[in-house]
Structure 1
């Protein structure tokens, strides 16, 4: 009976047993040889326990591996370089230079991408003596407007005059700011960021002044209606405004200061010239340089008529003051509407003909179509950029190639004769021509 403690093995029948199968001889690693035998790693055959020679069937030789890279020479490192070796060859360089060439050197653009904007300090130091004097006079203009406002608190007509003086002072300040900005290149020079410079900002400021004078007229209307309602019936006024008659000296002083200030601003400083061009009232065109400007005419006429107030009695004084203030307020609103519509057409990139010739643009297009060398006018656009620049873009087809130059010259002359009558306005005309297909 077998048991773990009494198990015995027989070795007579060449059987295996734990005690008999233990071989104390140390065997060396063997490698295969090409002749079908095995041999040890050192190339020599070893004898097995039975006395036979073991041959190596493969002719492998061991090599020693070192983890460090310091022992590798530069020539070996170049030979073992990773990546595409053809790229570093001279053949590749010669072929790639002919295929991939560097981009050609481009000439710089004549129109810059943008121009530096001046700071307030730079604008202040760029002012000349004339601009400084004009700015100081604008401050005096504001002071006169404030004096007229507070000295004539009981008169609606003097309140309306103070609003006109305030508008003139603000317009004069805008004119000085425009002249100061003209000292810098960014104001008139075109760039990609500002194709027409910054002169369109002058148009935007003028549009703001138009809205301002219109609202000042509405303010005078509201005060007049309020005073009229307070005088109805026998109740007491709930307003803090004083309805006492203004002193004669205050009226005379305010009127004379307004006249002198307006004349100096119009004659010496030439303010509101661009606003006068934008309004372009044909009725006032022949009244001279000063009176043809609606802003100056309105201020001077109001200041002159106020000198009549001291000669009126109390009853006529109130009636004249109320009616005259309503008249001035209505003219202020009319001036604001006319100026605003004219400047809005510039802001909307359109062209508005003068009141004398409303069909000027239509007549120009009809004159171009009547030319024998023009087959068809495909596109015609006329628009005013700012106070001093108008543009005309035309696209048409000509009947012959020889007529293109003549037609282009005739179109330019026709536009400048019919539409270029406004002083100080330059026309830029672009004519795109193509031959008419048979």
Structure 2
């Protein structure tokens, strides 16, 4: 009993640790000896631990001690048929191959760009040079435009406002005169052109107006064409309104019809000077010479009948306003009966002229908005290019206008000859297009950018 009480109390069974992830570490650790006949799988481990603790606690013993026989008999039973080495070492062979790590618990699949497989399947696009054009440029606000205006631009702006006030005064002082009403519409059209010139001049202070970008390939200069197109449509509507008023007056003047309104032309006395007509002439000359309000429209649309006149009168808008104002200045010198007939005739003529002029401007500006060229001389240029001995055929030829100051020509030709001959041909065609269609050097016409593509043929 004394020997049994001196034995240590056994430890409770512990939870076994999971096997290591590395197979080499698993092979290096000695495998525990399990007894399949024991009640607990930890029976062999517990028994080995108990023997080690007994040896440590027994100290020196003699053969006569009561525990000597039991220990020797227990030890002989435990070590029977085993290695005389008290430690349970097992021989192992080291692997010569490199140690492979386990993939357990790791994320499977390639790492996209960093994977070797992805480099074979998903190839990266070749590096591209950055675009020379910016994606977009800032559009100035109203406050920025006001702060960027120079003294001359402010003066021109206030003059355009005064021009509009003169148009309103002309309409207010018409007093039933259809010719004066038509003149007020023409002055309003001229004042809109003067205001548009000031706005274009102010926007020219900013980079977005002329510099190309991805969003606006030709800058904002095409906005001027759109504004002129809207003003020309308004001119057509005003001319049609005047035609309807003239028809109404002709119906009221027919026999058997009682007019609802009395149209007495008492706005000026006979033999006096019409101050409203003088104001109309002065405002038109100031806007035409100082602001050049319809200069761009005059370049894109020419009338052969008035092209030989001076610069101010060669513009159809200025010619129509100045001629109407001059006739209204002369009308008070005539008799009252003749004044009435001439007033109606002049009003109808001006209304028809406004419709014709507005429709021509709409057609010319509409072709610019549609990226086409409506000028004259294209057929002559094509005939001269075809007549050159170095040109065998013209595959394609495109002429188009971007805005008031820029036109483009793209030609694809089949040619023969040496390299020196082709260089001279390129210079000849470029000079021919710019002189015939652009008006030549120093004439102030449109700027032409010519692109030529040659296909050399062997004879």
Output the TM-score relative to the length of structure 1. 0.75
Please point out which of 217, 229, 252 is paired with 1:207: 229
CA distance change for structure 1 residues 43 and 147 in 2, over 3 Å: closer, same or farther?
same
**Residue 406 of structure 1 corresponds to which residue in structure 2?**
424
C-alpha deviations, 1:188-238, integer Å up to 9, x for none? Answer: 111111111111111111122222222211111111111121122354323
Does the 8 Å CA contact 2:415/2:455 hold for their aligned counterparts?
yes
Decide whether aligned partners of structure 1 residues 369 and 312 sit closer, same or farther in structure 2, where only a CA change above 3 A counts: closer
**Cα pair distance change 1:83/1:366, threshold 3 Å:** same
**Contact 1:381–1:393 (8 Å) recurs in 2:** yes
For residue 269 of structure 2, the aligned residue among 211, 230, 248 is: 248
Q: Measured at CA, do residues 279 and 396 of structure 1 come closer, stay the same or move farther in structure 2, by a change above 3 Å?
A: closer
- Indicate the residue corresponding to 1:259 in structure 2: 281
RMSD between aligned alpha carbons?
3.6
**Secondary structure of 1:245's aligned partner:** coil
Q: Secondary structure at the match of 2:264?
A: coil
- What residue is the counterpart of 1:363 in the other structure? 380
Confirm whether residue 345 of structure 1 aligns to residue 362 of structure 2.
no
Distance apart, 1:161 and its partner CA = 0.8
Q: In the alignment, what sits opposite 1:133? A: 155
SS class of match (1:131): helix
Q: Is the 8 A contact 1:155 1:245 kept in 2?
A: no
**Alignment correspondent of 2:192:** 170
Return the offset for 1:106.
4.9
1:378 is aligned to 395
Query: Offset of 1:274 from its aligned partner?
Result: 0.8
Q: In the alignment, does 2:140 pair up with 1:122?
A: no
1:197 aligns with 2:219: yes
- How far apart in 1 are the matches of 2:110 and 2:197? 71
Residues 225 and 369, structure 2, Cα contact 8 Å, conserved in 1: yes
Shift of residue 309 of structure 1?
2.6
| Residues 156 and 322 in structure 1, CA contact (< 8 A), matched pair in contact too | yes
Q: Per the alignment, in what secondary structure is the counterpart of residue 169 of structure 1?
A: helix
Q: Which residue of 2 aligns with 1:83?
A: 107
| Structure 1 partner of 2:410 | 393
Q: Return closer, same or farther for 1:37/1:185 CA change in 2, 3 Å cut-off.
A: closer
Distance in structure 1 (CA, Å) of the matches to 2:356 and 2:45: 122
Match of 2:451 among 395, 406, 430: 430
| CA–CA distance in structure 1, aligned partners of residues 436 and 274 of structure 2 | 48
For residue 381 of structure 1, report the CA deviation from its aligned partner: 0.5
Measured after TM superposition, the shift of residue 271 of structure 1 is 1.9
Count how many residue pairs are aligned between Structure 1 and Structure 2.
Answer: 371
Counterpart check, 1:285 vs 2:307: yes
SS for the counterpart of 1:186 is: coil
Residue range with higher mean Cα deviation, 169-178 or 406-415: 406-415
SS where residue 397 of structure 2 aligns?
strand
Gaps of 5+ in 1: 1-27, 47-52, 54-76, 355-359
Aligned to 1:419: 437
Contact preservation (8 Å) 1:152, 1:251: no
